[in-house]
């Protein structure tokens, strides 16, 4: 397939081309033409063994989720079930790409992708291990000490060690460079004070990857570091935050003179910003960024029946086409990650576009069926529609707000 390119002029007269398929673009062929910035989603590497793996995962989920109602499956990667995570660990479906020396299974990023999309499409409760598998483990593998790798990675891969993310703070929103939580060096370690917000499942997590300031406040990027924090340490208070649907997976985590050992520092001191940016490529590009309301789409199609109206067929067809495109882009990012690249820009595109589609699905469902949304309704469509409507506003906030993401994309393309 040939790529579709879109060219546009900015105010400086330069030309930019974006490749939405298959291959990167080269520099301008005409020597007199200003060179264009490359931006592409390469074709994912071939992975012929994935279909047998897909069948294995589907068979497992058919048994494990047989009695799980749609009202629970709609929670997807927000559904917490420690026992289910341990079962996935026993099957080798956590830490799939990691070295065997650290409890991993040395499988490809595309094989891991197959497992993820099958879990999410089925509405499996994966929240317990999700963050540790998606980004905390890869961060430890990339910049952690040998001691840190051996202490955490095998337990994560077994589905026995859960992590949360300590990035966002009160009053800073998506501006991670504005963090005020501070770690001050003391004899033998660090003392931490500050507050983290919107910390998903901190009340069930064993550890946090804490992003905080270790240098001068004026050094917005270079003055930050990351730490591995045992959440049972004295001085840590975890307070639940209820969302619109009544769920309590968000938390406020307060640090009051919390003492961390020197071994808690992960990566070089002052390298926190670079590490977080790399980490966000994992967080923003996976299938969770466009499958959060997939269970609702399934229930909608079931409710429409075998002979939907032309309007319904057109709407569902358009949503299906959008999901196919997003899947293609997301798998491309998985391929780039497998090569050791840092596709932060591409990941931001996937996250932004995915949030749009995820938010469209409940709105389109409301237009196509005369079903009242109700969280606790015995009717499957009504229940999942109710949950999706209440949670949809957060889709363009979590993992970076839409405005922040579009700023990243514009900057990456040289437009600002």
Cα gap 342→195, rounded to integer Å: 29
How many other CB atoms are there within 10 angstroms of residue 82's CB atom? 15
Beta bridge partners of 97: none
What does the pLDDT average to over 361-389?
92
Domains of the chain: 50-161 (1.10.540.10), 166-270 (2.40.110.10), 286-412 (1.20.140.10)
Q: 242: exposed, middle or buried (C-beta count within 10 Å: 0-12, 13-18, 19+)?
A: exposed
pLDDT of residue 178: 87
Closest to 7 measured CA to CA, from 55, 50, 41, 39: 39
User: In the predicted model, is pLDDT for residue 31 greater than 80?
Assistant: no
Render pLDDT for 267-289 as a digit per residue (tens, 0 to 9): 999 999 999 887 776 777 788 88
The SS3 call for residue 185 is strand
pLDDT of residue 333: 87
Report the mean per-residue pLDDT for the chain. 86
Model confidence at 188, pLDDT cuts 50, 70, 90, reads very high
User: In the predicted model, is pLDDT for residue 4 greater than 60?
Assistant: no
Report the percent of the chain where pLDDT is more than 90: 62
User: In the predicted model, is pLDDT for residue 37 greater than 80?
Assistant: no
pLDDT of residue 151: 97
Our CA angle for 46, 276, 131, nearest 5°, is 65
Cα gap 391→250, rounded to integer Å: 13
Model confidence at 343, pLDDT cuts 50, 70, 90, reads confident
Model confidence at 244, pLDDT cuts 50, 70, 90, reads confident
Cα gap 382→375, rounded to integer Å: 7
Model confidence at 38, pLDDT cuts 50, 70, 90, reads low
User: In the predicted model, is pLDDT for residue 21 greater than 80?
Assistant: no
Render pLDDT for 278-325 as a digit per residue (tens, 0 to 9): 777 677 778 888 898 999 999 999 999 988 999 999 999 999 999 999
What does the pLDDT average to over 54-69?
96
Question: CA-CA distances (angstroms) from residue 38 to 7, 16, 24, 129, 347?
Answer: 12, 8, 6, 36, 15
What does the pLDDT average to over 145-169?
97
């Amino acid at each position: 397939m040939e790529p579709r390119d879109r060219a546009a002029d900015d105010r400086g007269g330069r030309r930019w081309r974006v490749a939405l398929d298959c291959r990167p673009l080269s520099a301008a062929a005409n020597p007199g033409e200003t060179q264009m910035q490359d931006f592409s989603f390469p074709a994912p590497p071939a992975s012929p063994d994935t279909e047998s793996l897909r069948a294995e995962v589907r068979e497992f989920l058919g048994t494990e989720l047989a009695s799980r109602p749609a009202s629970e499956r709609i929670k997807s990667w927000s559904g917490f079930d420690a026992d289910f995570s341990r079962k996935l660990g026993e099957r080798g479906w956590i830490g799939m790409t990691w070295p065997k020396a650290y409890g991993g299974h040395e499988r490809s990023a595309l094989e891991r992708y197959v497992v993820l999309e099958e879990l999410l499409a089925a509405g499996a409760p994966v929240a317990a291990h999700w963050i540790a598998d998606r980004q905390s483990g890869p961060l430890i593998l990339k910049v952690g000490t040998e001691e840190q790798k051996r202490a955490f990675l095998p337990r994560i891969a077994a589905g026995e060690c859960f992590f949360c993310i300590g990035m966002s703070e009160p009053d800073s929103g998506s501006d991670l460079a504005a963090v005020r939580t501070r770690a001050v060096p003391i004899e033998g370690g660090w003392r931490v004070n500050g507050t983290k917000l919107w910390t998903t499942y901190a009340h069930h997590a064993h550890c946090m990857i804490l992003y905080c300031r270790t240098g001068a406040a004026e050094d917005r990027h270079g003055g930050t570091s990351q730490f591995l924090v045992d959440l049972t340490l004295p001085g840590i208070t975890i307070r639940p935050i209820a969302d619109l649907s009544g769920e309590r997976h968000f938390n406020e985590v307060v640090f009051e003179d919390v003492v961390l050992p020197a071994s808690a520092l992960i990566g070089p001191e002052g390298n926190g910003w670079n590490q977080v940016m790399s980490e966000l490529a994992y967080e923003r590009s996976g299938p969770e960024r466009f499958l959060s309301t997939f269970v609702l789409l399934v229930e909608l199609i079931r409710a429409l029946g075998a002979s939907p109206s032309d309007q319904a067929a057109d709407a569902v067809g358009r949503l299906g086409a959008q999901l196919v495109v997003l899947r293609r882009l997301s798998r491309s990012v998985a391929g780039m990650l497998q090569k050791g690249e840092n596709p932060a820009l591409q990941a931001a595109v996937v996250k932004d576009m995915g949030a749009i589609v995820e938010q469209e699905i409940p709105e389109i469902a409301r237009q196509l069926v005369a079903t009242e949304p109700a969280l606790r309704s015995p009717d499957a469509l009504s229940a999942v529609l109710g949950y999706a409507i209440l949670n949809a506003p957060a889709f363009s906030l979590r993992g970076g707000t839409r405005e922040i993401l579009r700023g990243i994309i514009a900057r990456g393309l040289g437009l600002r």
